[in-house]
Amino acid sequence: MTRKITIDPVTRVEGHGRVTIHLDEYGQVKDSFFHIVEFRGFERFIQGHPYWEAPVLVQRLCGICPVSHHLAAAKAIDQIAGVDPKDLSPAATKLRRLMHYGQVFQSHALHFFYLASPDLLFGMDAPVEKRNVVAVAVENRDLAVKGITMRKFGQEIIKAVAGKRIHGILAVPGGVHKTFTMQERDYFLDGKQIENIDTMIEWSLAIIQFMKDYHEKNRKLMDEFAAFPSGHLGMVNNAGGLDLYDGKLRAIDSEGNITLDDISTDLYEEYFSEAVAQWSYMKFPYLKKIGRENGWNRVGPLARINMCSFITTPLAEKERQEFIAFTGNKVNNSTLYSHWARLIEVLHCAEEMKLLLNDPELLGNDLVRSGTPRLKGIGIIEAPRGTLTHHYEVDEKGMITRCNLIVSTTHNNDAMNQAVKWVASNVISNSGNITEGMLNQVEVAIRAYDPCLSCATQAMGKMPLKAELYNHNGDLINEKYKNG
């Protein structure tokens, strides 16, 4: 008989999702789906509001990545206010960048230390009570303390520039609303009250070494687990270097061939389309010229390291060189390498923060610029989880008439489904017994993409995640719901 497995909720990810696996009468995986069942509605909800409210309203999409939504929306409304990115004052641009690097730094630290490290430290088959950060704290105190301190550093950066760690406000149309003082800057440099930025760089290197050591011992697993070909999308500067805040869109295929050649972010609609599926509230973006079936891209750390020509900071670039050397400079399509790529970005963000904190222009008081108002604005940034698009259109009174959000997790929708399918086919098929460890491998595959399901569906309300096993008759024969 066929069977269907459901994992519901998927744990240690941000949001509420569900996995169903359908088996045929021979115990082979017939199909698998990663369902997103939260309510979508933010794009509609925001219509009718004045455009300048957008950067504040959209932060409420999420408690994990409000900064990313704030800044993507801010870049869009700058254009509605008639100001292009190059026309912002140096102080405004650098304060926004500092906030953004602080956000990526703290978000990546949260994901690696709180969510992913238990899988790496204890293994995918470890007892469920060990697969959490409390167990990491007990068995690897040093790692946990570093993780907490690094996350807090990023949060303190956000608090310093935006007033609050969560849902703070920095950007206004055409710039920012507050200056950064020498006292605020020195807090992060002198090491008197908190560990300073040099320590963050040192610890970032130490955590990368931890990952390299793991790779040394688990290379086969990392190479093979949930490996599948895909496109990779991200943003680069004019020279092709990784740029998380502003730049041009670049995509490559699984072999490294360019499929999107450094296009202006304003043109994204010409190149991307979004498909829908009956079984998920989350959309499926893809490159129009390649088509729905093969035109989808991974986004996020692995995609970014794959598609950029170089990283703009020296230590992270050295790590990137070492990273790509393992695949002979070819594209890395193995899911678990996302963790390593994420840590290289942690280092990159720490280096960028240090550069900004030592830049006198960060302390400038020319904060807001203005221009001739327009009716449309598109803001794209590289959020922690990948390429994030905010698109607004307004009427003559500045009221929002259209909002389109393509969040990072949406781009990774196909990739996460492919990853689930890989585990279902390679681990669960043909096994007479379905263990907790097997189901955790499904979660590990999803977790590597650090999905933020609340953002992807613009959900409201509670967000625990839900897994189900169905037979060939469609009967539910096993299910799990993990909420504690």
Partner 1 sequence: MKNIRTDKLSILLIGIGNCGRNDDGLGWQFVDMVNSKGPDQLCLEYRYQLQVEDAQLVSNFDIVLFADATHDVLPHGFDIKPCPPVNHYYFSSHAQSPGTILYLAHELYQKKPEAYTIAITGYNWGLGTSISEAALTNLESSYHTFLNIFLPALKEVYAITG
Which residues make up the interface to partner 1 (CB under 8 A)? Answer: 9, 11-12, 14, 63-64, 110, 114-115, 132-135, 137-138, 141, 144-145, 148-149, 151-152, 155, 166, 463-465, 482-484
**Min. distance of Cβ 371 from partner 1 in angstroms?**
34
- If the CB atoms of residues 71 and 109 are measured against partner 1, the closer one turns out to be 109
Measured from the CB of residue 66, what is the shortest distance to partner 1 in angstroms?
A: 11
Instruction: Choose between 64 and 287: whose C-beta lies nearer to partner 1.
Output: 64
Distance of closest approach, residue 190 Cβ to partner 1, in angstroms: 20
Q: How far is the CB of 54 from partner 1 (least distance, A)?
A: 18
CB of 427 to partner 1, least distance (A): 21
End-to-end CA distance of the chain: 32
Alpha carbons within 13 angstroms on the beta-carbon side of residue 443 total: 34
Give phi and psi for 368, each to the nearest 5: -130, 135
Q: Which is nearer to partner 1, 46 or 236 (CB)?
A: 46
Taking the C-alpha atoms of residue 44 and residue 42, their distance in angstroms, rounded to an integer, is 5
Q: What is d(CA 405, CA 422) in angstroms, rounded to the nearest whole number?
A: 29
Min separation Cβ 198 and partner 1, Å = 20
Nearer to partner 1 among residue 145 and residue 258 (C-beta): 145
- Distance, CA of 156 to CA of 162 (rounded, Å): 10
Which one, 234 or 301, has the nearer CB to partner 1? 301
Pairing status of strand 468-471 against strand 17-23? parallel
State the CB neighbour count (10 A cutoff) for residue 274.
15
Q: How far is the CB of 226 from partner 1 (least distance, A)?
A: 21
* Nearer to partner 1 among residue 363 and residue 460 (C-beta): 460
- Cβ closest to partner 1, residue 28 vs residue 132: 132
Task: Rank residues 12 and 232 by Cβ distance to partner 1 and give the closer one.
Answer: 12
Q: For residues 334 and 225, is the Cβ–Cβ distance under 8 A?
A: yes
Query: Burial, 226: exposed, middle or buried (Cβ in 10 Å; 0-12, 13-18, 19+)?
Result: buried
Which one, 63 or 256, has the nearer CB to partner 1? Answer: 63
For residues 413 and 253, give the distance between their C-alpha atoms in angstroms, rounded to a whole number: 17
Quote the CA–CA distance of 260 and 279 in Å, as a whole number: 29
Q: How far apart are CA 160 and CA 152, in angstroms?
A: 12
Tell me the closest approach of the beta carbon of residue 32 to partner 1, in angstroms: 21
- Please, which residue, 232 or 482, has the CB nearer to partner 1? 482
CB of 281 to partner 1, least distance (A): 20
For the bound state, the minimum distance from the C-beta of residue 132 to partner 1, rounded and expressed in Å, comes to: 4
Closer to partner 1 by Cβ: residue 165 or 304: 165
The smaller minimum CB distance to partner 1, of residues 141 and 330, is found at 141
Least distance between partner 1 and beta carbon 111 (Å) = 8
CB of 349 vs partner 1, minimal distance in Å:
18
